[in-house]
Amino acid sequence: MRTVAASLLLLPILAFGCSSEPKESSTPSGSDGDGTQKPTTFSFTPEGCDYAIEIAEGRGNDYAVDEGTLGDAPAPQRVRIGIGGTTEAGKPGYSDPSKMAAFVWETDVGTKATKVRLGPSPESFTEVHTGFSYALPGLVPVRVHQVHVCNGKPGETWYYQVGGGPEGAEVWGPTQSFTFAPAGGSKDTVTIGVSGDARDSHDVVWPLVQSRMKDAAPTLQVFTGDSIKLPHDYAANDYAAWLDGAWKSSPSSPGGDFALGNHPFYPIGGNHENLQAQWLSTFAFPGSGKYQGLFFSFDVGPIHVVLIDDGPVSSQMGARWPGAEEAILSFLEADLAKANERRASVPWIVAFHHKGALSTSNHGKDSDVKRMQTLLMPLWDKYEVTAVINGHDHNYERSAPATWSGSEPVVKDELSQGTTHIVCAGAGASGYGTGDGSEPWSLVRQRYGKETPYVGLYGLLSASPDKLTWKAYGLKPDGSKVADDDEIDTLEWTR
């Protein structure tokens, strides 16, 4: 029932080199014996976790479980904290940011040491966890490392280093820290930092967005897609540039703490990632097998968070991703039904994906957006989803609470009667225009870019058991803190 009212050094991109062929070990797993790569699958069960990871064919090569070897450039780069787990609420291993974390980083392909050491203080590392690594598919030699842990406690702060190697010759990254989220259903207040569409300005606007995230210190971040310009065989370079942008997130001290290594960061893909294997292998995602990274959810304090890659839903990818649309819609149906049953303890349901169903900007009348209206809005109605937050159109827009009639959106008078749709895309992409307000559901619109004081946009979503608050900000180019920017919109739900 709805009951609501109104210290790392900045490292060069892929410093370990770029060539037309990946550097491989002499007879890598997944090779034909002559060094030629063939697609392989890989399975791994993290110690102490109630789930197994199965990486689908085509997402990696030369898999290794902490072989301990060091290559030419073993120093960990672009450390980020994500999450693993399963995607079915109520089942063992279901994603839980109050106790789970997945540490991800990159090295040259020859480095196969994959460990995390952690503890309660920078001077005391009391645990060591082991993980796995793989060479990314494509033409850029990059090895991605993952270590999953499941023994955290709500609100607990961990200090950690990633790396490893032979005893006495280990190479570790700088010491960083992060804090586990409050448990789902707790009465703690949580904050989610929201951004999307960084594709055109990895070196200016995206670092500014991350400087605001460092200042706001959210419980976690969500990114709604379009991290890079175009997917291609060298996309690992583009993803590296995007991740490196966060290293420059403090204009006053470039190369300071890597924001994504201090706050859990949960991205979902957009049309520019295009379900590319390199994208799906760049992060740790909940789920397993061929659909891993296309959908997942979790509870954090009083919010149930749902993320989907809407590519298969909006574009009917057909033979390339057979069954993906059905898998996403089936996941949503089951996940939202269970979330709706937990409204007493987790009252707010917020969904994130890339293409907004309600927009008056450039893509508002596109056929794929219209298709999502018919496929997704009925689900939001059925399970009384509080809000949906998107990117894709490079502006800011908020709708009135709305439902779907079967042919068009229907405006409702009260927040409790419909779902609020928010477009907040401006983490680096060039700005678009907005509509004229003739659509009855379009309440708030804000451009950025030319003839405005803003170079981008971002948002903060905060929740307690009795109140959910959304604030959107116009990003100013000469600031470094949230207080330097203008609050362009705010909305509050209460129960």
Provide the CATH number for the domain around residue 109.
Answer: 3.60.21.10
User: How many Cβ atoms from other residues are within 10 Å of residue 26's Cβ?
Assistant: 7
Copy the structure tokens of residue 230.
């175009």
Residue 261 lies in a domain: yes
Cβ-contact 225, 272 below 8 angstroms: yes
pLDDT at 314: 87
Residue 17 lies in a domain: no
Residue 380 lies in a domain: yes
How is the beta sheet containing 143-149 ordered, strand by strand? 61-64, 132-135, 143-149, 101-107, 77-82
pLDDT at 233: 87
Please name the residues in contact with 118: beta carbons below 8 A apart, sequence gap of 6 or more: 125, 126, 127, 128, 129, 149, 158, 159, 160, 161
How is the beta sheet containing 442-446 ordered, strand by strand? 295-300, 303-308, 348-355, 387-391, 420-424, 396-399, 442-446
Residue 16 lies in a domain: no
Query: pLDDT tens digits for the chain (495 residues)?
Result: 444 333 222 233 333 322 222 222 222 334 444 444 455 789 999 999 999 999 999 999 999 999 999 999 999 999 999 999 999 999 999 999 999 999 999 999 999 999 999 999 999 999 999 999 999 998 999 999 999 999 999 999 999 999 999 999 999 999 999 999 999 999 999 999 999 999 999 999 999 999 999 999 999 999 999 999 998 888 999 999 999 998 776 544 444 556 789 989 999 999 999 999 999 999 999 999 999 999 999 999 999 999 999 999 988 676 788 999 999 999 999 999 999 999 999 999 999 999 999 999 999 899 988 999 999 999 999 999 999 999 999 999 999 999 999 999 999 999 999 999 999 999 999 999 999 889 999 999 999 999 999 999 999 999 999 999 999 999 999 998 999 999 999 999 999
* Distance of alpha carbon 423 from the chain centroid: 16
Residue 485 lies in a domain: yes
Distance CA 16, CA 368 (A): 40
Q: Which residues make beta-bridge pairs with 56? A: none
pLDDT at 205: 96
Cβ-contact 256, 270 below 8 angstroms: no
Distance CA 225, CA 307 (A): 11
pLDDT at 388: 98
pLDDT at 231: 86
Number of domains the chain contains: 1
Residue 239 lies in a domain: yes
Cβ-contact 467, 473 below 8 angstroms: no
Query: What length does the chain have?
Result: 495
Distance CA 88, CA 77 (A): 32
Residue 26 lies in a domain: no
Q: Which residues make beta-bridge pairs with 105? A: 145
pLDDT at 39: 52
Residue 5 lies in a domain: no
Query: What does the DSSP assignment read for 183-249?
Result: PTT-S--EEEEEE---TT-TTTHHHHHHHHHHHH--SEEEE-S--SS---TTHHHHHHHHHHHHHT-
Q: Which domain holds residue 334?
A: 42-494
Cβ-contact 314, 328 below 8 angstroms: no
